[in-house]
Structure 1
Amino acid sequence: MTTMEPISNVPMPPVAEVISHAGAMRLIDELIHADAGHCTARATVRATQLFVGDDGMPGWVGIEYMAQTIAAWAGVRDRAAGRGPGVGFLLGSRRYACDVAAFPVGSVLTISVQVELEGENGLGMFACTLAMDGREVARANVSVFQPADAEAFLQGQQV
């Protein structure tokens, strides 16, 4: 991961242009803000989405909303550097806590991620929160890895 200059006053790109998630796997709908160390995204829970049941989107899916917002942050940086969105991996989380069992259909979620640690080797740690209809309901520290060459990494050619 490389450092990005703040990009305030620049319109946010469509989510599809900055993350590799597509179709049913794309959970976030729009970017609200991105700068050198922070990103905020918005999502609306829809009945037709993957994972949604009778009670809505299960609370444990909050970690994926956070991971996709981290991916969007990295994708905005890639875009600023003239590259397409890279591939990253969710390594794990610490202290994921969610105050609700599910996010009801129609809920508007606001996901915020803040860089806590960024390594030259592609490892990163983010402090994340998720608010539902304006009230924070989930939080976690999320660890991610974005290899310089995802294809080589997946084939076991990069450590």
Structure 2
Amino acid sequence: MAAKPTFPPVAELLPHRPPMRLLDAVVSAAEGEICCALQVAADGRFDSAGSVPAWLGLEYMAQAVAALAGWEAHQRGEPPRVGFLLGTRHFETNTPRLPCGAQLQVSARRLLQTDSGMGSFDCQLLGPDVSQRARLAAYEPKDLENYLEQPGHE
């Protein structure tokens, strides 16, 4: 029987730091795709009356995209890099709120990636009574400091 793959802690794959690191662990990863686990937190940042707004699912998805990039960087022996969520298309949700304490899985699958760092990803957030889908556009500059020094990024 093959050993179950192990993954580094999410903290090693994401450039996010607490309290904005929202993913708990990588469940699986393969070429161009990743699945991560999270528990919807009741910590005062986003919750109200026992739930968080459904739009927070987009941030979970964006962090899954970042975890995919971080996993691939880890495979190359590189640190994770900062990327930017550019937008979303076709966001679908079956609920206006996500219950605090819910155990969810968020996945990201790369649809395309250009040499310049632009990418498109099909994402899902699933759990008990939760089903969300979206297509995210993201950008990971090769040289963040040079990118931020360009006019318009003050």
Q: Structure 1-normalised TM-score? A: 0.88
Is 1:77 the counterpart of 2:72? The answer is yes
State the alpha-carbon separation in 1 of the partners of residues 135 and 149 from structure 2.
Answer: 28
Contact 2:41 2:101 in 1 (8 A): yes
Runs of 4 or more off by more than 3 Å in structure 1?
none
Report Cα offsets for 1:34-81 as digits up to 9, x if no partner. Answer: 111110001001211521111411100100000000100000111111
The residue aligned with 2:27 is 32
State the alpha-carbon separation in 2 of the partners of residues 27 and 11 from structure 1.
Answer: 20
> Counterparts of 1:1-159 in structure 2 under 5 Å?
10-48=5-43, 50-133=45-128, 137-156=131-150
Q: Percent identity?
A: 35
How large is the RMSD of aligned CA atoms in angstroms?
1.6
State the number of aligned residues. 149
Question: Which 5+ residue runs of structure 2 have no aligned equivalent?
Answer: none
Report Cα offsets for 1:80-128 as digits up to 9, x if no partner. Answer: 1111110100000001111111111110110011111111110110011
Q: Structure 2-normalised TM-score? A: 0.91
Contact 2:87 2:137 in 1 (8 A): yes
The residue aligned with 1:5 is none
Question: Which 5+ residue runs of structure 1 have no aligned equivalent?
Answer: 1-7
State the alpha-carbon separation in 1 of the partners of residues 69 and 27 from structure 2.
Answer: 14
**3-state SS in 2 of match to 1:124:** strand
